[in-house]
Amino acid sequence: MGDLDILGFLLWYFAFLFSLTAHEAAHAWAAYRGGDPTAYLGGQVTLNPLPHIQREPLGTVLVPLFTFFRNGEMMGWASAPYDPLWADRQPRRAAWMAAAGPASNLAIAATVFLLLKVLLEAGVLAVPPRWRWSPSRLVVPAWQGAPLWALGACQLASILLHLNLLLFCFNLLPLPPLDGSGILAGLFPRQLGGLFRALRENPMFAILGLLVAWYFFGRMYGPIFLLVILLLYTPL
């Protein structure tokens, strides 16, 4: 691989680990604040990716590497443990725990979006001359002969915006085992919510839910992403 290929790989993996770690740490922190110390005792309330990698090495190392070299983007997963008995006793707090993960991704995406918007308006960054569906090339330096670190910073910001918008939207789908189903489970009456949580924890329903979610998500994310990019590129 050339220098830019190696740089792209490193930036993707950094953005992936940071976004996923923030997501799971938010789950763990919300559960701890809500009275469930399970993830806290497991060392998950941290932005250090190592405890999350140790818990899910397949989803945080092997699958991201495979998907990057196959598709040029990274996919994977992590998880934060929680006490299901606590979730049954405190369904509203469990719903807040489920919402905390996507909320962290929305916060990252919004922060990056605002930073890029300011820099575009100030003329520090520019829209790529031939922009297409390239989530890792949303902005470029506005000056000629930009050094490698400036190109890398633009690419990292682009990846973070795309990846966190994707994680936010995907995880809000109300299908097991995604966070959207956990939010609904906490809002339903207790018996119905308990049934919904049981479906989330059933491996067969989890696999089915992921397949259905990915089928519909492929059709809904494109318009959402394009709308965000139009908002980013349209001058104030």
Residues labelled catalytic: 24
- HEC readout, the chain: CCHHHHHHHHHHHHHHHHHHHHHHHHHHHHHHHCCCCHHHHCCCCCCCHHHHHHHCHHHHHHHHHHHHHHHCCCCCCCCCCCCHHHHHHCHHHHHHHHHHHHHHHHHHHHHHHHHHHHHHHCCCEECCCCCCCCCCCCCEECCCCCCHHHHHHHHHHHHHHHHHHHHHHHHCCCCCCCHHHHHHHHHCCHHHHHHHHHHHHCHHHHHHHHHHHHHHHHHHHHHHHHHHHHHHHCCC
Instruction: Report how far residue 26's alpha carbon sits from residue 46's, in angstroms, rounded to the nearest whole number.
Output: 9
